[in-house]
Amino acid sequence: MSDSQHRVTFQPQGRAVSVLEGTTILEAAAIASLVIDTPCGGAGTCGKCRVQVAQGATEPSDAERKAFTVAELADGWRLACQTRVDGDMVIHVPTGSLFGGDHQIARDSAVGGPSEVQPAIRKVYVELPAPTLEDPRPDLLRLEEKIGSFNVDVAMLRHAPGQLRQQGYKGTAVLSDHQLIDLEVGDTTQRCFGVAIDIGTTTMVASVLNLCNGRELAIMSRINPQVSFGDDVLSRIQHSASCPHGLEELRQAVVHEIAGMVRALCDEAGIDARFIYEAAFAGNTTMQHLLCGVDPSPLGAVPFAPAYARGMLLSARDMEIPINPHGMCYVFPVIGGFVGGDTVAGMLATRIDELEGPVLMVDIGTNGEIVLAHDGELFGASTAAGPAFEGARISCGMRGTRGAIEKVLLDGDVHLGVIGNVPPMGICGSGLIDLAAEMLRVGIVSREGRLLPTDESPADVPPALADRVRADDNGNTVFVLTEPDGGTTHKPLSLTQRDIRELQLGSGAIRAGISMLLRKVGLRPADLKTILIAGGFGSFIRRGNAQRIGLLPPDVDHKRIHYVGNVSLAGAQWAVLSLEARKHGEELARRTRHVELSVDGDFQAEFAEAMIFPER
């Protein structure tokens, strides 16, 4: 047992992440925003998550020995769900192991290959004939005849013609769509980069892309420094509304951190930031407002109307993002106050409108964002799930970091999986879902969510488990996860009746939201052809257990449920790499009907109903 970190590099994607020892390759891939398909839910039975460990292969597990030939094992073939990191590793991920088949191939090629790379940024090396008496055409006109018509601002109008002459009518023109934004000495066409940034409420992920071929050169994540002003969007909205310089404080915090990420990415990729001409940002509506310095206070009160809807192309200099000073920032379109640019980016990256429908996409977090694609129509809604899935308001809850119980199995007694293989310090969202699902399964918790005292336990509950339901010092019923051991510094961990209620609230909100959207188009959960679980957290939950507690529709074949990972980042990458994709994102945002669940009279009833755990 060690809590050391190891570096795992995925090829051919070229992504590298540092993870705790004991993390599965499946989880490490999710952290790197690579979504490996696991129809069996990571049980090691379907053999779908095949990867080749090129460096640092460990002893194969029994499941792996069944899945591969001896020769394959010797070549490093393993199952991503079974192999755990115990040193630096290099993993080859075949396209066939990524989620989505052909669909994923298309997505992958946009990020990794040249086929769909048609960015808004265009660099053209030109060698123009110098003016002569026979051909005294204006400088910018001779440039236009080579690269097409463009606009300039005053600064570029003053700079470009002289620059062109100084360079002997040679150089590299940089265009952002139809705006001439720079004119560089020599042929710099191969130095053309963009950054894509997913601004999460908690975590920001940024990657730098080579706009010539779409390749990702570096990726990194950092905590959104706005967390010091509050964990959730509402507390940040309140800070911006109540403090005189609150909005500017929040804006500067996030911009400063993004600037640091851009510099760090440039260092890692070995490039100069002045060759980055565009940054694309996808985040929830509040995060995007704060990034742009737009007052988010209307998002904090009924009717939660955002300031803007369409995607915007803004000056990097005005935004204070330290890429090329004439570069541009693209900020994603939003659908509503709580269905933001990250959702639009996810819709774009998953091509939700092209998948066999009906398709449901769910991003589970403090707010659950739900998108339904059916018969050419798109619906988007959000539901306040509360912070239970992020470990908050749970008595022994914590985020999914080192020491968090992230997996629970009740098999005769309690079996815990802890991140980092250290003594458990608390329970995170995925552990909580596992625990609740297992307690339901064995019968310690009723469908109504009541924690059953030992004397009410069904007869077939193993005594060791039944015994763990006790009254604590305050007389509250609890389920004891870890017993006090006297010698350790860690307090014993229990789940309280109140914790279960919090989980019911969170799960019920999302389930009710899904039901409402489905009902709007006359569908039942069983009609869904595909369910996409988006977002970092989603990648860690176990589908079966999420269905057991009703967070995901129980009556859907779990093979139809797919983890798609950080599709917000993937969508932002697309937007940098393809003007067409960006336009498509705009269209998706415009087409999606925003359903405000809280105004629907049926929602409260549905919500109350959804808090009851599903029948077996």
**Which residue, 132 or 242, is less far from a copy of itself as judged by CB?**
132
Nearer to a copy of itself, 22 or 246 (CB): 246
Residues of this chain, 156-185, that bind a copy of itself according to CB under 8 A: 157-158, 160-162, 165
User: Minimum distance between the CB of residue 540 and a copy of itself, rounded to whole angstroms?
Assistant: 32
The two structure tokens encoding residue 336: 């509503």
In angstroms, rounded to a whole number, what is the distance separating the alpha carbons of residues 26 and 98? 11
- Nearest distance in Å: CB 154, a copy of itself: 4
Q: How many Å apart are CA 228 and CA 225, to the nearest integer? A: 6
238 three-class SS: helix
With b for 16 or more beta-carbon neighbours within 10 A and e for fewer, the 259-279 pattern comes to eebbeebbeebebebbbbbbb
Cβ atoms 590, 561 nearer than 8 A: no
CA–CA distance, 565 with 475 (Å, rounded to integer): 42
> Which pair of tokens denotes residue 440?
């339901």
From residue 332 to residue 351, what is the string marking binding to a copy of itself with x (rule CB under 8 A)?
--x-xx--------------
CA distances to 5, 153, 285 from 58, in Å: 16, 58, 44
549-608: contacts with a copy of itself (CB under 8 A): 594, 596, 598-599
CB of 133 to a copy of itself, least distance (A): 4
Least CB distance to a copy of itself at residue 416 (A): 43
User: Applying CB under 8 A, does 147 fall inside the site for a copy of itself?
Assistant: no
| Residue 140 touching a copy of itself (CB under 8 A) | yes
Going by their DSSP bridges, the two strands 77-79 and 50-55 should be labelled as antiparallel
Q: Which of 134, 356, 485, 615 binds a copy of itself (CB under 8 A)?
A: 134
Q: Which residues of 520-557 are buried (b: 16+ CB within 10 A; e: fewer)?
A: beebebebbebbbbbbbbbbbbbbbbbbbbbbbbbebe
Single residue of 1, 71, 154, 459 touching a copy of itself by CB under 8 A: 154
Three-state DSSP at 572 gives helix
Decide: is 380 part of the binding site for a copy of itself (CB under 8 A).
no
Residue with Cβ nearer a copy of itself (315 or 395) = 315
Q: Where are the alpha helices (DSSP H) in 224-309?
A: 233-242, 246-269, 285-292
User: CB under 8 A: which stretch of 137-145, 231-239, 469-477, 569-577 binds a copy of itself?
Assistant: 137-145
User: CB of residue 364 vs a copy of itself: minimum separation in angstroms?
Assistant: 23
Pairing of β 216-223 and β 203-210: antiparallel
Residues 295-314 that bind a copy of itself (CB under 8 A): 295, 298, 302-310, 312-314
Give the residue with the Cβ less far from a copy of itself, 336 or 387: 336
Which one of residues 43, 54, 105, 152 is an interface residue with a copy of itself (CB under 8 A)?
Answer: 152
Nearest alpha carbon to residue 363 among 563, 173, 559: 563
Instruction: Pick the stretch among 110-118, 145-153, 197-205, 466-474 that binds a copy of itself (CB under 8 A).
Output: 145-153
CB of 494 to a copy of itself, least distance (A): 40
- When asked if residue 409 is in the footprint of a copy of itself (CB under 8 A), the reply is no
Where does this chain bind a copy of itself (CB under 8 A)?
Answer: 131-141, 144, 149, 151-155, 157-158, 160-162, 165, 292-295, 298, 302-310, 312-315, 318-319, 334, 336-337, 594, 596, 598-599
